[in-house]
Structure 1
Amino acid sequence: MGKKCRTQAVERDLEWEIIEPLLPKKKQTRPPKWSKRQILDGILYQLKNGCNWCDLPKDLPPYSTVFWYYKQWREQGVIENLRDILHRRVREQVKKKGNGQPS
């Protein structure tokens, strides 16, 4: 694995540490077939690429599963909350680097 791939994997792990606690907890009756991270990867893929849900790549969970979670999380305000928190963190990082716009 090249240095770039390792760096991206570490960045993704750090992002996941921020995101995971923001996702709803579900009473587990049995182990899930797909992790929340895999579900979120599917949602983010669709939002980034604008593809139809049924055109998600085969290495992601089935589109029906991803779309079901997307609808649930959207209705619960989870998607909006994730967006707001991540935007806030990016703005804070930009300010720390001294690249922020004057208020």
Structure 2
Amino acid sequence: MTDAEWAAVRLLLPVPAWFQRQGGRPEGCHRQLWDAIRYLVAGGFSWRAVPADFPDWGRVYAFFRRWREHGLIAEFRDRLRGTVREREGREAEPMAGIIDA
């Protein structure tokens, strides 16, 4: 992940309570967690196949679940789709969809 990509993603992530001195345990680097999720999605690997370079698979999955439950994954998808569409000269939100079975 480039620094520019991380700057865009970081703004959407929740600020940990421990960072605001409200207690709790340090969560680690969200950038490493996000990179691990991207690695798994790009390669189509299972959660347990996270390489040793990343945090433990259980930790990565727990953060993914938490972010998904809070709507952050959908927010990332929607923003990315809007950005790509605007770069192509189209409206950010699609007007219709096509489903092919």
Q: How far did 1:32 drift?
A: 3.3
Q: Identity over the aligned pairs, expressed in percent?
A: 34
Q: How far did 1:43 drift?
A: 1.0
Count of residues in correspondence between the two structures: 86
User: Which residue is equivalent to 1:23?
Assistant: 13
Within the candidate set 10, 21, 42, 2:36 is matched to 42
Unaligned 5+ runs, structure 1: 1-10, 97-103
Q: How far did 1:30 drift?
A: 6.6
2:55 aligned with 1:65, yes or no? no
Unaligned 5+ runs, structure 2: 91-101
RMSD: 2.0
Structure 1 residue ranges, 4+ long, deviating more than 4 angstroms after superposition: none
Q: How far did 1:45 drift?
A: 1.1
Within the candidate set 4, 29, 32, 2:26 is matched to 32
**What one-letter code is carried by the residue in structure 1 that aligns with 2:29?**
S
Q: In structure 1, how many angstroms separate the alpha carbons of the residues matched to 2:38 and 2:27?
A: 19
TM-score, with length taken from structure 1: 0.74
More helix by share: 1
Q: How far did 1:86 drift?
A: 1.2
TM-score, with length taken from structure 2: 0.75
